[in-house]
A = this chain, B = another copy of it.
Amino acid sequence: MSAYGSLTEQVAQISDILNAISILTWDARTQMPPGGAETRGQQIATLSSLAHERLTGDPLSDALVSAEGEVSAEDTVRLRVVQSVREAVDLFGRIPPTLTAELAGLKTVSQGVWQEARRQADFSLFAPYLERMVALNRQLAEAIGYTEHPYDALLLQYEPGMTASNLQGLFGDLKAGVLPLLEAVRASSTEPRWDFLTRDFPEEKQRAFNLHLAEGFGYDLSRGRLDTSAHPFEISFTRQDVRITTRYDRRYLPMSLFGTLHEVGHALYEQGVAPELTRTALTSDFLGLYAVGGASYGTHESQSRLWENLVGRSRTFWRRHFSELQGTFPEQLGDVDAETFYRAVNRVSPSLIRVEADEVTYNLHIMLRAELELALLEGTLKVSDLPEAWNAKYEEYLGLTPPDAATGVLQDIHWSAGLFGSFPTYTVGNVMASQFFGAATLQVPGLTGALAEGDYAPLRAWLTEHIYRHGRTYLPQELLEHATGEKLNVAPYLTYLNEKYGDLYGL
């Protein structure tokens, strides 16, 4: 066997372990009886340590060195495979095992503490754990290494190529566009009707309609399924088995509807990865010990946002599909028309809760979190001052003050789970989504007409060709440039927001 063959065989086994971890995780969130939690944690920890051991062990390292001598510079795919394993091995080599173990232990405990603190709305319970988490993430950043800012090292885990400096530019441009738009919307006398969204929508009918839309988008149920969980997610165990979950509110139709379309966007990405990348280094996030086919968190989010918002919340979409929805819920929506429904599901309403935010305010929630975690990491903000800083930013950006820590600084799981540097990827995803959608509209003849007819195949084909099939072959910025000819650029997104909400609110 060639060295490259030995390398890919070892990587395939590591990939199997990462996929198995995902299956255990999916089961834990959707099927597992409560008694199984503790032993499930042990099972996942064991598989993670096995994957880590294989990634950092001599057999892989030996095969890698030999493969590096063997693969020619012209063989770009093999070269990328070898490079990507090399990056992971070197990166792992720089992180002390004691730090990895301490972080893993802290994550487990701190998520439980965070849950309890949120239940009691008492930040002081969580504060010491957050302090430790910040300190360990600072150590992690030092171990990984960076040129400009420690945050750059953490971003590497979620959005390779992105830096704190880039982000600050992006955020500045975005705020400069969004804050005036929000002010104008607030000053507008337009108030869309939305009472009908809170009527009684039986769960089974919601589910059937969501699945109908999902299949229309091209979600292949012979390689997927839809379940219910407390927090919606998408997860894949190779492209052949890509699952999504949603949650239902009988009294609030948009919850499951747009939640499902969001997860379908993630799922289309994973189902669209080229078959030959299955079980390779180009569908594995080694650093996160996670089997994923998408290029980065931001690229993945660009697809969930594209299908949820640019497609699913468009006027075009509801002109085509509202009559089907009305047919499913004739009593609940008998007095509503497509335009009224479109306006209702795009109502702008600043709120304290990120996951319920509309398109205009969503990125403000993200940017303030990113700014706060960056300051925590720099040490310019102390954990004890975080609640006050949180509230001040909510007042500044959204004009709202949280009544307590549960709806304020304790609302997200991310920091308790050690995810420092992941928040910005939501905004990066929104920005990318507009760039991708714009490029597809320019490049695919008749795309707008196809979407108006509910034909999603041309859009999906373009996305598959330019994004999905490549898996992690390209860095996110390379992928974006190949597909759109441009670097990350906030202009198309701001144009989209201004045109859509200018129209909706008569600005």
- Name A's B-contacting residues (CB within 8 A): 12-13, 16-17, 19-20, 23-24, 27, 31-40, 42-43, 45-47, 49-50, 220-225, 237-238, 240-241, 278-279
Query: Which listed residue, B13, B39, B222, B279, touches A279 by the CB 8 Å rule?
Result: B39
CA of A20 to CA of B40, assembled, Å? 9
Complex interface: chain B residues within 8 A of A19 (CB):
39, 43
- Residues of chain B within 8 A (CB-CB) of A12 are 42, 46
Give the number of times this chain occurs in the complex, counting copies. Answer: 2
A224's partner among B13, B23, B33, B224 (CB-CB below 8 A) is B33
Q: Are B33 and A47 in contact (CB under 8 A)?
A: no
Least Cβ distance of A6 to chain B in Å? 15
Q: How far is the CA of A42 from the CA of B278 in the complex (A)?
A: 11
A27, B25: Cα distance in complex, Å: 12
The answer on a CB contact under 8 Å between A222 and B46 is no
Return A24 CB to nearest CB of chain B, in Å: 6
Interface of A is mostly: helix
Out of B34, B46, B222, name the residue touching A33 (CB < 8 Å). B222
- The one of B23, B36, B47 that contacts A240, using a Cβ cutoff of 8 Å: B36
B35, A17: Cβ atoms under 8 Å? no
B224→A39 contact, CB < 8 A: no
In the complex, what distance in Å separates the CA atom of A237 from the CA atom of B224? 24
Taking CB atoms, residues of chain B closer than 8 Å to A240 are 35-39
Q: Are B13 and A46 in contact (CB under 8 A)?
A: yes
For A238, what are the chain B residues with a Cβ–Cβ distance below 8 Å?
36, 39
**Residues of chain B within 8 A of A34, CB atoms compared:** 222
Residues of B within 8 A of A23 (CB): 23-24, 27, 43
CB of A244 to closest CB in B, whole Å: 12
Q: Which of B24, B33, B47 contacts A223 (CB 8 A)?
A: B33
* Residues of chain B within 8 A of A225, CB atoms compared: 31, 33
A223 proximity list for chain B (CB < 8 A): 33, 35-36
Which single residue of chain B is at the shortest CB-CB distance from A49? Answer: B13
Contact B224 A47 (CB under 8 A): no
User: What CA separation (Å) do A172 and B49 show in the bound complex?
Assistant: 53
Supplied contacts A31-B225, A33-B221, A35-B220, 14 more A-B pairs, CB within 8 Å? A13-B46, A16-B45, A17-B46, A20-B20, A23-B23, A31-B31, A34-B222, A35-B224, A35-B241, A36-B237, A36-B241, A37-B240, A39-B241, A39-B278
Scoring A27, A43, A47, A225 by chain B CB atoms within 10 A of each residue's CB, the highest score goes to A43
Bound-state Cα–Cα, A49 to B10, Å: 12
Would B33 and A237 count as touching, CB distance under 8 A? no
The one of B36, B45, B46, B237 in contact with A40, judged by C-beta atoms closer than 8 angstroms, is B237
The answer to whether B237 touches A43 (Cβ under 8 A) is yes
Q: A27 CB to closest chain B CB, in angstroms? A: 6
Q: How far is the CA of A20 from the CA of B39 in the complex (A)?
A: 11
7 nearest interchain CB pairs?
A: A36-B241, A35-B223, A16-B46, A39-B238, A35-B240, A16-B43, A13-B46
Q: For the complex, what is the distance from the CA of A49 to the CA of B40, rounded to whole Å?
A: 21
- In the complex, A13 Cα to B19 Cα: how many Å? 18
For A225, give the chain B residue with the smallest CB separation.
B33
Q: Please report the C-alpha to C-alpha distance between residue A36 and residue B220 in the assembled complex, in whole angstroms.
A: 12
Contact A32 B279 (CB under 8 A): no
Give the CA-CA distance A47 to B13 in the complex, in Å: 9
A484, chain B: closest CB distance, angstroms: 31
Residues of B within 8 A of A27 (CB): 23, 27
A24 contacts B20, CB within 8 Å?
yes
Task: Give CA–CA (A42, B16) in the complex, Å.
Answer: 7
Question: In the bound complex, how far is the Cα of B220 from the Cα of A402, in angstroms?
Answer: 42
Residue of B nearest to A26 (CB): B27
Partner of A237, one of B39, B45, B46: B39
Residues of chain B contacted by A222 (CB below 8 angstroms): 33-35
A47-B16 contact in complex given A35-B222, A224-B33, A279-B39, C-beta closer than 8 Å: yes
> What's the least CB distance linking A122 to chain B, in Å?
28
A47–B20 CB distance below 8 A: yes
14 pairs, CB–CB < 8 Å, chain A vs chain B = A12-B42, A12-B46, A16-B43, A23-B43, A33-B222, A33-B225, A35-B222, A35-B224, A35-B240, A35-B241, A36-B240, A36-B241, A37-B240, A39-B237
